[in-house]
């Protein structure tokens, strides 16, 4: 394995890693040598992924821990239990997110807006602040937040979600500036339409799928593994001079007329 992408000895937490982009990311990080913490709200789903990884890459490669990201105490326990299992965290992938409301922002209930911001932004703020002190101490660390192209332009149907994803990219920039002198890197990845359960309402709708793919250069939907590869880059030595960036992976959606 090229030393540029070798993650041997690294320890990673990947939120929302029981399926989709998070699962693909956990598998690829493990493939490149990292120990990985699989976490989402449902422990059974996490255990399935951890078992799959352990059977492929070694019995002590992955652990399953349940956590509701909107609960600060649960996040603190996730961090504590992760460190107890593998040691201080070198790689944090904030992938988990929610979108309980689809429609015009004028009609969104306050409770839905608050839930989106708490789960998609504040939870990432909390968890990054939990892992950063040890990264500062070791003068090394990579934080990767999975944002969305929804955060790059206005949306008539995903307003609150788009606002939360724009905030995530700013969180990464702030971390990169504050903690870069201590060797901590922070970046965002903004995927386009990816074939995940989270985006099922979009790609199962033939008109939306056609509209999205027609305006992209590659004319197709993306797959979770195509995001996971970028995470490996940002987590590894290959990405050691990359920080404060928002990497757009959307099949060239902005490249067509």
Tell me, what's the pLDDT at 1? 52
Cβ neighbours for 92, distance < 8 A, ≥ 6 positions apart: 12, 13, 127, 128, 131, 141, 142, 143, 144
Mean pLDDT calculated for residue range 229-251: 97
158 band by pLDDT with thresholds 50, 70 and 90 = confident
Beta bridge pairs of residue 35:
11
Domains along the sequence of the chain with CATH: 3-196+224-247 (3.40.50.720)
39 band by pLDDT with thresholds 50, 70 and 90 = very high
Cβ neighbours for 134, distance < 8 A, ≥ 6 positions apart: 83, 88, 89, 141
The residue from 101, 113, 161, 233 that is catalytic is: 161
How many other β-carbons are positioned within 10 Å of the β-carbon of residue 142?
Answer: 27
Whether 161 is a known active-site residue: answer yes
């Amino acid at each position: 394995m090229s030393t540029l992408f070798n993650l041997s000895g690294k320890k990673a937490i990947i939120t929302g890693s029981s399926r989709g982009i998070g699962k693909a990311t956990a598998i690829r990080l493990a493939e490149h040598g990292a120990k990985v913490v699989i976490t989402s709200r449902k422990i059974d789903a996490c255990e399935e992924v951890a078992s799959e990884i352990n059977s492929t890459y070694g019995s002590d490669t992955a652990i399953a821990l349940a956590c509701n990201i909107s609960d600060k105490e649960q996040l603190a326990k996730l961090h504590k239990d992760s460190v107890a299992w593998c040691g201080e965290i070198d790689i944090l992938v904030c992938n988990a997110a929610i979108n309980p409301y689809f429609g015009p922002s004028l009609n969104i209930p306050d409770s839905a807006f608050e839930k989106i911001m708490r789960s998609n932004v504040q939870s990432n703020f909390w968890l990054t602040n939990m892992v950063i002190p040890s990264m500062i101490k070791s003068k090394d660390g990579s934080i990767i937040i999975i944002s969305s192209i929804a955060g790059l332009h206005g949306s008539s149907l995903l307003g609150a979600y788009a606002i939360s994803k724009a905030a995530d990219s700013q969180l990464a920039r702030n971390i990169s500036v504050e903690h870069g002198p201590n060797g901590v890197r922070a970046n965002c990845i903004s995927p386009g339409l990816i074939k995940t359960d989270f985006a099922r309402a979009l790609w199962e709708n033939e008109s939306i799928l056609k509209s999205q793919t027609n305006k992209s250069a590659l004319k197709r939907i993306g797959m979770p593994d195509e995001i996971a590869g970028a995470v490996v880059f940002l987590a590894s030595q290959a990405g050691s001079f990359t920080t404060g960036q928002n990497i757009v992976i959307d099949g060239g959606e902005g490249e067509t007329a």
